Structure formats: structure tokens, C-alpha cells
Amino acid sequence: MNFRVEPLSVFIQKKDIFYNFEPFLFNTPEHLRLQNCKNCYVLWGEKKNKISLVFNLFIEKECGLSPYQMAFGGVEGSDSLHYQDLSDFIDFILSFCNSLLLKQLKITCYPFSYNPSVSHIVTQILLLKGFEISKSELTHFINISPINFEEILHFSEKRKLKKSIQKGFIFEKLEKYNVDDIYEFIADSRKRKNYPVSMSLEAFKQTIHIFQDKYFVFAVKDHQTIIALTVAIVINQQILYNFYPADHTEYLAYSPIVALTLGLYRFCQEKE
């Protein structure tokens, strides 16, 4: 495998970029340039003129970051890669970091469930090379199958869902909406729960405008009133990321997030 590195500004202008896997949205050149860091590199490994491995590296002072602002970066590649390919690629990354005289490299990896075979090997290699796990977070995910959503719900969640159904709440994918209103709804909900909003309004607007085919807004309504919504991101053809779920303070007794999750599950079933 041949390893290469180029600044993002150069890499993004290539017209002959071909992958032998589908990269996660956050690791694509178009999304990387939204992270407001001018000093960014793309490192990759290729076989037969196709990219098999990729890693993004942002430089801030004497620290390397992957990613700079988004939810995750890390080493991504085909799930058919061998251990030695991944080990050699990580050596290439570390060698490049050393050439830049970086004092630290911080990698926020994607959830293991996104690509278990690569994730486990990469984590093992990084630990063997002296990396330390500074933060570990739980990821909640649902495997999409022909099974009805109601059948996999806990009894208590079924009761919550029944309330929403009895009230006639409707789930829909919003095609026309005011981005400012969506952001305000999310911000109010997260503030109530003491959760931060990781994106500014301007960044939110810009990202949704550029990736209209990847960032969707889904809502549960009581007639015309939005009582729950989420921004869901198409990470790739297999993964829909429930990014910003939020609910209306006056409808908490109905737990509309359960009805929202039902709608997302059915949306994914239709795409299978």
C-alpha cells in the first residue's frame, strides 16, 4: 500500500479521488473544510489508485487534532484491511506528526458500531504505540431490521408511545422550515437539560445549506405545533446519526421523543 499526505486545500481540488469504501461524511474533504482550521492535512493509503485508508489531521499550535470541531475523525478504511496495513498507516501518521514537531496528537474516534472490525484493530494498535484513552463515551444505536419498532421497545416505552398515538401526533420529514426556528427549538430544549449546543447558529445554517442532501429535519407535530424534532445526518448509506433530538417543554408528559424515534426507525426501514 502506498501512503501519501497533502494539505486539505490541495487534496480537495483533486478530480480523481476514488475510494474502495464509502467514507463517513465527517471525513470527506467537503465536510472537513467547514471545521474552520486553515492548517489541515489529509493522509491516506491507496491500492490500485483507490483510497483504502484515510485520516484527517488539524494543527493547532503544537498539537495535532482529529477532528478539529466535528463529532469524530480518526482512522477510517475498508473493513477488509489487514492488521499490518493499519499498523503501517498509523506509523506513517506518527512519522508525519514527528516531522511537524508536534508535541501531542489527540484523536476522537468514531463509535465502534460504525465499523467494528477497523475500530477494534486501530484502538489496539494505538494503545500499543503509547496512546492513552482520555475519554470514553457510550453510543446508543438501533440495528434496522424488518421487525416492527414496537416489538423491540421496553414496556415502559410502549406506554409512552401509546400516549402519542392516542393523541394523534404526526411524524414527518420537514421539507420547508425556518433554520433559525429549528435552531432556537433545539437550543431551548438543550438549555433546559443543561446540554451545550456544539454549533453556533451561523455554522448550523452553513452546514445545512451545503449538505441539504445529508442533513434532514424530522418532527413530531400536534396539528401544526412542533412538539419534538431532530436533525439527522446521513453519515453514509448505512448510518443515520440522530444528532440533535429536542422536545417541547409543554409536551413532556407524552414523551414525544419516543414517537420521533419510531418515525426515524421507519424512515430507515424504507431506505433498506
Q: Are 141 and 269 in contact (CB under 8 A)?
A: no
Per-chain mean pLDDT for the chain: 95
Cα-Cα-Cα-Cα dihedral of 186, 190, 191, 196, to 10°?
A: -110
pLDDT at position 78, please? 92
Query: With bands split at pLDDT 50, 70 and 90, how would you rate the model's confidence at 69?
Result: confident
Residue 62 identity (one-letter amino acid): E
Q: How long, in residues, is the chain?
A: 272
Query: With bands split at pLDDT 50, 70 and 90, how would you rate the model's confidence at 138?
Result: confident
pLDDT at position 188, please? 97
pLDDT at position 15, please? 81
pLDDT at position 19, please? 95
- pLDDT of 68 > 80? The answer is yes
Tens of pLDDT along 158-199?
999 999 999 999 999 999 999 999 999 999 999 999 999 989
- pLDDT of 272 > 80? The answer is no
pLDDT at position 148, please? 95
Partners of 55 in beta bridges = 43
Question: What sign for the dihedral angle of Cα 73, 24, 265, 260?
Answer: positive
pLDDT at position 17, please? 87
pLDDT at position 37, please? 85
Query: With bands split at pLDDT 50, 70 and 90, how would you rate the model's confidence at 38?
Result: confident
Cα–Cα dist 45/63, whole Å:
23
pLDDT at position 104, please? 97
Cα–Cα dist 268/262, whole Å:
10
As a whole number, mean pLDDT of residues 108-112 equals 95
pLDDT at position 161, please? 95
Tens of pLDDT along 203-258?
999 999 999 999 999 999 999 999 999 999 999 999 999 999 999 999 999 999 99
pLDDT at position 271, please? 86
Burial of residue 189, with CB atoms counted within 10 A of its CB: 0-12 exposed, 13-18 middle, 19 or more buried? buried
Query: With bands split at pLDDT 50, 70 and 90, how would you rate the model's confidence at 134?
Result: very high
pLDDT at position 63, please? 97
